[in-house]
Structures are given as structure tokens and as C-alpha cells.
Amino acid sequence: MVYKKEKFTYIYYITEFIKKILPITIGSLSPMLIQAADNIMVGHLSEKIRAASALTNSICSVPLFFLAGISAVLMPLVAGDVLVSGYKKATNSLQYMMVIAIGFGALSSLLLLLGCPLVCCLGQDKEVTEFACSGYFQMISISIFVTSIYQPMRRYLMGLGWQSLVMWLQISSSIINIILNYILINGHFAFPALGLFGSGLATLICKLITMSIYIIITYYLSNNRYKGSLIFKHWNKQRFFKILKVGIPAGFSLSIRIIYLLIIKIMIGVVSGLHLSATSIIFTLINIFLVFAISISNVASVFIAEAGMSNKKRIIKITGVGYMLTIIIAITMASIIYLFSNWILENIFSPNLEVRSIVYSLINMSVLMYIFDAFVIIGMGLLWGLKDTLFPSAATFFIYFLIGLPAAFIFTFILDLGIKGIFIGMLIGYSTLSLVINLRMSYLVNKYCKN
């Protein structure tokens, strides 16, 4: 008897994961590097300006991450549509996602612009809020609407396998943004030095350029290569609400995390503006390294969607490879943070000795937080691939707000541990959520893969 060699082996998935992770990671690193460049450039103006930038970006990240969560489900949806029904249905999914994303983006930008005067009510340092509301907050708020236009197109292209194209678009966007930051923040090539406002203006200009490029590429591919159309011909109410039903819990999952971090940063700002500036450096470094875990999570969700929940062997292999790569990445990146944080701080981020001292005191807990967070992210990606978005959303909400935040408040303001108390509370929240999410993933894998 001649046995047919199985295509979907562990080696196959390891190879495919790496091939798809690399372009996604490089592309996703781009916005993180922009954030790091902003942090470095405005931080060298003053620590109060760095704190103002951190506060603004924390507030505006809530709708941005909700938008990212909603549009992220488009990747497995498009991959599944192509497999089952062809490219026209995939383009149709993009149309509905565009309606959802643009509507949400417009509403978010409007509410943020109207609510800008309320920033002064958050109990932050007066100078910090003045810097934030002197144009920077407004520029970042408007850029959210621009992002809502091209974010679904980005996920659509990734779902169709254009990861390399998206990667180069992201890299180009980052280079443009950093160059504009250099010119407008400090005033080069005959331009005036606009400080923090220049950073916000650079972000908005860059996003407008990126939006234009995505519209041109997506329109060309959908109309010519995939024989679809970005213009609605028939409105399918059932299809629209199906996408909305999957997208909103995913967006809620990501935005819960950002709302949690926003409240954490407000608490840090209440301790002092200098602590807010110092911890913004920690969060910037962690976010850069979390990109690798997010990339593994995205690829895993697409592979599971393509395999289908009835394919038991493939689900087990995808899950195993996803966790294996996450362990390798988490240990490697945590080691880099721990071993090279001193050099990074002294040579890149801040000459301020007090700021560096605050960061050094929190580095051990930061490394542990990163590891737990990486396992939360891979677990959520696998659950999304299995179309389970409601449980991770509910678990994230209850654990962050009923365990993490109360613990941070108690350790900081009641037990008087200061900034360390906030990080102890965060560590408790991340470790608990990591345990719950991955137990849920284990349960579902056993459920679907039971003989």
C-alpha cells in the first residue's frame, strides 16, 4: 500500500508561519517605530512634552484600537470567503467593513474634538494638559478618521495574501512620518520649529498620503484582478450584521485593553508628570516587542479560518506551532529588554537621570508583563480564528476592570507603594487574563478535536 504524504505537517506550518510573520511584523513594526521616534524627538524637547504626547496618544488609542480590532476580523473573513465563495464575496466583505469602520472613525474624531477641553479635568499636571491641547490632540483626533478609511483595505489585502505589499507600504509610511517629524518638530529646511504640534501635523499628513495609496491599490486590484467592485450594487442586511456581530466583540477586546491602559496612565499622571514620561518609554519598548506576538496571532487566526473547525489535525498543528513560536519570541524579546534597557535609555531615549532611575526600578516587572501579554495575544488570535470573540472580550473586561485596576489602585494609593503599586496591579491583571484565555483555548481545541 502506498501512503500519500501529508502536506500540512508541523514543518509545513513552521515554514508558512515564518514566511507570513516576517512581512506582517516588519509592516506592523513601522507604526511602533513612528511612536518610538515621536517619543524620542519630543522627549528631547522636555519631559513634560513627552508626557503630553503620551497622554494624548493614550486617549486617542482607544478608538484606534477598536477600529483595529473590528478590521482585524476581515483577514480571516476574506481568507474564508475566497476559499468557499471566491473573490467577489471577499470584496463584498470589504465593502461592509468600510461602512462600519468609516462610520465609527467619523464619530470618534468628532467626539474627541468636542471633548478636548475635558482633558484638563483628568487631574494631570497643568503644563502637560496645556501642551497636549495646543493643537497636537486635535491633529491626532482628525487622523483617526483618515485611518478608518484605509485600515479595512489594509486587512483586506493581507487576507488576500498581499502581506509583502502591505509591509512595504507600512515601511514607506513610517519613513515619511519620521522625516516629517524631523522637519516639523525641530524646524529644518526653512520650516519653522513647531514642537509637539509639528509631530501631530506630520502624523496627519502621513496618514493622508497612506490613505490615498491604499485607495488606488485596492480599487485597482478589486476591479481588475479580482473582478469585484468597491461600489455597492446590492445591500445585504444579513451579511452586514453578521460582520458587525463578529467585528464589534473583537474591537471591544482590543479597546478594553487600551481603556485599561488609559486609566493606568491617568493614575500614573496623578502620581507625577515625570512618572508619566518615564513609563511612556517602558510602554513604547513593550509595544515594539509585542508586534512579534501580534503577528503570530494574526497568522494563526487566518490559518485556523482556512483549515475550518472540522479539520481536527490541522487545528492541533496550527495551535502547537503558534504557541511554540510565541514562547521562543517571548523569551528572546524579554531577554533583549532586560539586558539592553540601560544602553537604550542612556543613548536613545532620555538624558534625564531621574527618568532613567524610574524606568530601571520597573524593568523586572515590565519584562514579566510582556511575557504574560504575549500569551494573551496568541490565545486571543487563536480564539478569533475559531470564531470565538465574545468570551475573550468578556474575560478581558472583567479581569482588567475587576481585578487589575482595583489591585493597582489599592497598591498605589491605599498601601502607598507609588508607581510600583500600579505595575504590581497590572502584572496581576495580565497574568490572570493569560491563564483564563489560554485555558479557554485549550478547552475549545479539545472540544473540536475530540475523536
Q: Residues 391-415: what's their mean pLDDT?
A: 91
Q: How far apart are CA 355 and CA 436, in angstroms?
A: 35
Q: Cβ of 219: how many Cβ atoms within 10 Å?
A: 14
Burial label for 332, CB within 10 Å (0-12, 13-18, 19+), is: exposed
- Say whether pLDDT at 2 is over 50: no
The pLDDT value recorded for residue 3 is: 39
Which amino acid does the sequence have at 251?
G
The pLDDT value recorded for residue 197 is: 92
Q: Residues 370-391: what's their mean pLDDT?
A: 84
Higher pLDDT, 137 or 34: 137
Give the residue extent of every domain in the chain.
29-251, 272-451
Pairs from 341-348 (Cβ < 8 Å, separation ≥ 24): 341/285, 344/285, 345/281, 348/40
Question: Taking Cα atoms as reference points, which of 301, 393, 283 lies closest to residue 349?
Answer: 283
**Quick one: three-class SS letters along the chain?**
CCCCCCCCCHHHHHHHHHHHHHHHHHHHHHHHHHHHHHHHHHHCCCHHHHHHHHHHHHHHHHHHHHHHHHHHCHHHHHHHHHHHCCHHHHHHHHHHHHHHHHHHHHHHHHHHHHHHHHHHHCCCCHHHHHHHCCCHHHHHHHHHHHHHHHHHHHHHHHHCCCHHHHHHHHHHHHHHHHHHHHHHHHCCCCCCCCHHHHHHHHHHHHHHHHHHHHHHHHHHHHHHHCCCCCCCCCCCHHHHHHHHHHHHHHHHHHHHHHHHHHHHHHHHHHHCHHHHHHHHHHHHHHHHHHHHHHHHHHHHHHHHHHHCCCCHHHHHHHHHHHHHHHHHHHHHHHHHHHHHHHHHHHHHHCCCHHHHHHHHHHHHHHHHHHHHHHHHHHHHHHHHHCCCCHHHHHHHHHHHHHHHHHHHHHHHHHCCCCHHHHHHHHHHHHHHHHHHHHHHHHHHHHHHCCC
| 242 phi-psi bin (left φ>0, alpha ψ -120 to 50, beta other) | alpha
Cβ partners under 8 Å of residue 439, min gap 6: none
- Say whether pLDDT at 233 is over 70: no
Q: Do residues 98 and 214 make contact, with C-beta atoms less than 8 angstroms apart? A: no
The pLDDT value recorded for residue 1 is: 39
The three grid cell numbers given for residue 132, joined into one nine-digit string: 497636549
Of the pLDDT bands very low, low, confident and very high (cuts 50, 70, 90), residue 4 is very low
- Write out pLDDT tens, residues 431-443: 999 999 989 988 8
Q: How many residues does the chain have?
A: 451
Q: Do residues 21 and 296 make contact, with C-beta atoms less than 8 angstroms apart? A: yes
Highest mean pLDDT among 46-60, 65-79, 248-262, 333-347: 46-60
Of the pLDDT bands very low, low, confident and very high (cuts 50, 70, 90), residue 300 is confident
Q: Cβ of 125: how many Cβ atoms within 10 Å?
A: 19
Mean pLDDT, the chain, integer:
83
The three grid cell numbers given for residue 35, joined into one nine-digit string: 511612536
- Write out pLDDT tens, residues 58-90: 888 888 888 888 887 787 777 766 666 666 677
Q: Residues 104-112: what's their mean pLDDT?
A: 93
